[in-house]
Structures are given as C-alpha cells and as structure tokens.
Amino acid sequence: MIEVTNNIVIGEDELRFVFSRSSGPGGQNVNKVNSRVTVFFDVANSPNLSEGQKKRIAAKLKSRISKDGVLHVHCQKYRTQGENRRLVVERLCELMRGALVRKPVRKKTRMPRAAKMKRLDEKKQRGEIKKLRKPPV
C-alpha cells in the first residue's frame, strides 16, 4: 500500500509499471538494461479516490493524464531499475498531493476611507504644484 496523504492510500495493484531503456549516462550499460521506469495510474477508475478528488487531480494534472484518465509519470535519473521505481512512486505521490491541495478562497478587502481620502488629498496637492509651474496668463 502506498500512502499519498493521511486519508488516501493506493494499492500497488492499481499501479502499472513499464520498464524501458534509458537515455543519458551509463556507458554500455544503457544499451542492455531497462532502467527507465514509467508508472501508469488509472485516476478515473480508482476506488480509493472520491469523485471530487478525481476531478481535482484531472484538472491540475491534465498535461500528464491521457484521454482515458490514466496518469503517467516516468523516471530515468538513476542507473538502477529499483531506484528509479522508488523515485517514480515518490513523484506520483508528490504530484497527487500537490493536486489535492485546495487553494484558500481569497477574501475581498476594502480600502479604508482614510487611506482613500489621503490618496485624493495627495493628488490634489500634486495638481496644485503643477498648476503653480505654469506661467501666469
């Protein structure tokens, strides 16, 4: 079981791992070992997520989700498949945590009357100064 948040847990049977050859450093090893890991998680059909959570994840991570509602994340940072597998699961959890965080609602604030009056007085003073610069008619 993978713990995403305190109240959301995903079973490892819901994740599908695909291994492929990685690009980057590794010498001859890179040509013969499938160290790149891609994980697929079906957000749309997950029994552990509520409808609201599914919608929030789909909206925030829409660039990473396919039309079928499958979230995919890949990793090829390390030279071993095990390390990349561990890291890709961590990244998946981080992405989901970030997508599930609710943005606080902004409360509209009103400008205090005294501040508004002070601003208008300063504008009037600035206008008077500019008016005094003009030559007399």
Q: What is the pLDDT of residues 2-46, one digit of tens each?
A: 776 767 777 777 777 888 777 766 666 667 777 788 888 887 777
Proportion of the chain above pLDDT 90, given as a percent:
21
Whether 108 maps to a domain, the answer reads no
Residue 127 within a domain: no
Range of the domain at 85: 2-100
**Residue 14, pLDDT score:** 75
Q: DSSP letter at 101?
A: P
pLDDT value for 29: 66
* Domain-embedded: residue 130: no
Please tell me the predicted confidence (pLDDT) of residue 82: 81
59 domain residue, yes or no: yes
8 A C-beta contact, residue 44 and residue 85: no
Q: Which residue has the tokens 């948040």?
A: 5
The answer to the question of residue 55 being in a domain is yes
> Average of pLDDT values for 69-78?
81
pLDDT range class, residue 105, cuts 50, 70, 90: very high
CATH number at residue 68: 3.30.160.20
| Number of Cβ within a 10 Å radius of residue 8 | 17
Residue 6 inside a domain? The answer is yes
Instruction: State residue 80's pLDDT score.
Output: 76
Residue position matching structure tokens 């100064």: 129
* 124 and 116 Cβ atoms separated by less than 8 Å: no
DSSP symbol at 52: H
- Of 137, 25, 121, nearest to 129 (Cα)? 121
Q: Within a domain: residue 82?
A: yes
Number of domains comprising the chain: 1
Within a domain: residue 125? no
